[in-house]
Amino acid sequence: MKEKKSYPGKLIAFEGLDGSGKSTQINLVQRWLAGQGCRVFHTAWESSEMVKEALRRGRKQQLFTPTTFSLLYATDFADRYEHQILPMLRGGFIVLCDRYIFTSFARDGVRGCDPGWLRELYGFAHMPDITFYLDLPLHIALDRVFRARQQLNYFEAGMDLGLSQDIQESYRLYQGRVFDQYMKMVNQFAFAMIDATRNIHDQQEQLREQIASRLDLTEYGERGSA
Amino acid sequence: MSPNRCFQNPPPDLDLSRLTGLLIVIEGPDSSGRSTHVNLLTKWLEQKGYSVVQTGLKRSMLVGPELDQAKKGNTLSPRTMSLFYATDFYDQMENTLVPALHSGAVALADRYIFTLMARDLVRGTEPSWLESLYSRALVADAVFYLKVPMQTLVGRTLHAHGRLDYWESGMDLGLSRDWFESFLRYQKRLNDEFMSLHKKYHFDIINANRSVNAIQKDLRARVEKLLTGFNLEAHSV
């Protein structure tokens, strides 16, 4: 079922901790690419209603295990991948992914899933043409999230891991582990590192520069050859 | 005899020590009589004083309802369905099978990973991907495969439901717009996949082209043998 042949589109993934500024940067990249006349599509790592319902039930009845947690997210991703991401790539779009499979590798890895198993599980998904990692020290990321008084949900705070009864403390410890998982992936998946401590404009310049140097934008125009 | 191991790495956080129960899998195509025999075996085992726990497809608390919903809509891709069923399988394995086996019960699985694999293989999923997906599954003490000739299967299906089912006819595969024709081709392909899985996983093939009584008698004799080893082990624990 996996498309073996190449597709005309390009897949650009953005990874990083909560609070690293991914959405802000992706929006600006999208704005820029659209302004260049490129066909561009933006998709986020969001759960479908179906999965939200299962997550709610699983949490209430304490049903989750690392394996089912991982598989449920993979199910949801497969649906989004085959209905959205892959058709867009085949249709010649530049697809910007706000989080991609590396997010699952990190989250499931924290829960004890074997990296080889995860890699195989998500083997149906193409590796991105570029994966940007918005690199921010853990304490700054945590600080941003807490200052924004963001509502932490149960799984985002890693409460299922039983690290702490206090949701803020659990989140802090969980993010630390997610961060460690990301760091292990930097070289393996050739993340393009973006220093997320710099100001928004500088980061955006750096992103645009890298994209322009690695993609021929003229191929993605509305009347492009794709 | 107890299934104390998985095909490869066991799932994280799952205690697989002291699984004193017995895991028996009944596999076979639709309308092969699986459920009838699972129920008859259950009654018989309970009469003999064994605690029995049943599992089957789409019965998980976690995603059972969503899976039913998804199946009705037929809008999900094969890959998504595949992962959905895998979630359902592992939820039952970890939350039902393993606790049952810990408590020393006999677990009867009405279909197991083999049905899930066969269905996906027919739909073109890579064998290596499926093998990895189900590598955390428990190895059963026995897998009884109810084998029925195609003609019997057609007759039974029509007799039982009075109509053909969309999924059982493999209509999503686009083999033929003619439901009957599609049903035949799909079931033939499924059978081929089951037989290739048999080569690898070595099922106990049961001739299910006999009366219910004859089949049940055969199954009981085989289960009886498993119980002999099982009792010896249970006493030594």
Residues 6+ apart with CB under 8 A from A10: A89, A94, A95, A129, A130, A215, A220
For the segment B25-30, the average pLDDT, to the nearest whole number, is 95
What's the full length of chain A, in residues? 226
pLDDT at A3: 46
pLDDT in tens, B9-22: 889 988 888 888 99
Complete domains list, chain A, with CATH: 14-219 (3.40.50.300)
Closest CB from B14, B78, B87 relative to A72: B87
pLDDT at A150: 77
For the segment B28-47, the average pLDDT, to the nearest whole number, is 95
Let me know if residue B33 belongs to a domain: yes
For the segment A48-60, the average pLDDT, to the nearest whole number, is 81
pLDDT at A50: 77
Residue B168 CB: number of other CB atoms within 10 A? 19
How deeply is A186 buried, as exposed, middle or buried, from its count of CB atoms within 10 A (0-12, 13-18, 19+)? Answer: middle
CA A113 to chain B, closest CA, distance in angstroms equals 6
Computed over its alpha carbons, how large is the radius of gyration of chain B?
Answer: 18
Nearest residue of B to residue A109, measured between CA atoms: B12
Tokens of B220: 């009981």
Let me know if residue B52 belongs to a domain: yes
Chain A residues in contact with B62 (beta carbon < 8 A): 54, 57-58, 63-64, 68, 72
Residue B225 Ramachandran class (φ > 0 left, ψ -120 to 50 alpha, else beta): alpha
Check CB contact of B78 with chain A, cutoff 8 Å: yes
Q: Which residues pair with B204 in a beta bridge?
A: B144
pLDDT at A89: 96
pLDDT at A1: 41
By C-alpha distance, which of B164, A6, A24, A166 is closest to A157? Answer: A166
pLDDT at B74: 65
Let me know if residue B10 belongs to a domain: no
Whether the per-residue pLDDT at A30 is higher than 90: the answer is: yes
Percent of chain A with pLDDT over 70: 96
- What total of structural domains would you count in chain B? 1
Pairwise CA distance, residues B158 & B168, whole Å: 12
Let me know if residue B139 belongs to a domain: yes
Domain of residue B172 covers: 22-236
pLDDT in tens, B125-181: 999 999 999 999 999 999 999 999 988 988 888 888 888 889 899 998 999 999 999
- pLDDT tier, A223 (very low <50, low <70, confident <90, very high otherwise): low
pLDDT at B4: 54
pLDDT at A221: 81
ipTM score? 0.86
Closest CB from B66, B78, B82 relative to A50: B66
pLDDT at A46: 83
- pLDDT tier, B196 (very low <50, low <70, confident <90, very high otherwise): very high
pLDDT at B234: 59
Let me know if residue B17 belongs to a domain: no
By C-alpha distance, which of B208, B220, B190 is closest to B33? Answer: B208
Check CB contact of A69 with chain B, cutoff 8 Å: no
Let me know if residue B166 belongs to a domain: yes
pLDDT at A225: 46
Helices A101-110 and A167-188: crossing angle in degrees, nearest 10, is 120
Burial per residue of A27-64, b for 16 or more beta-carbon CB atoms within 10 angstroms, e otherwise: ebbbebbeebebbbbbbebebeebbeebbebbeeeebb
The gap between the terminal CA atoms of chain B, to the nearest Å, is 12
The per-residue pLDDT of chain A, averaged, comes to 92
Tokens of B237: 């624990």
- pLDDT tier, A25 (very low <50, low <70, confident <90, very high otherwise): very high
Chain B residues in contact with A114 (beta carbon < 8 A): 9, 12
At residue B53, the 3 state secondary structure works out as: strand
CA A162 to chain B, closest CA, distance in angstroms equals 13
Tokens of A30: 């999208």
pLDDT in tens, A85-133: 999 999 999 999 999 999 999 999 999 999 999 999 999 999 999 999 9
Check CB contact of B15 with chain A, cutoff 8 Å: no
pLDDT in tens, A175-219: 999 999 999 999 999 999 999 999 999 999 999 999 999 999 988
The per-residue pLDDT of chain B, averaged, comes to 91
Which CATH number covers residue B104? Answer: 3.40.50.300
Percent of chain B with pLDDT over 70: 95
Check CB contact of A117 with chain B, cutoff 8 Å: yes
Helices A138-147 and A167-188: crossing angle in degrees, nearest 10, is 140
Let me know if residue B8 belongs to a domain: no
Whether the per-residue pLDDT at B1 is higher than 50: the answer is: no
pLDDT at A5: 54
Pairwise CA distance, residues B37 & A72, whole Å: 32
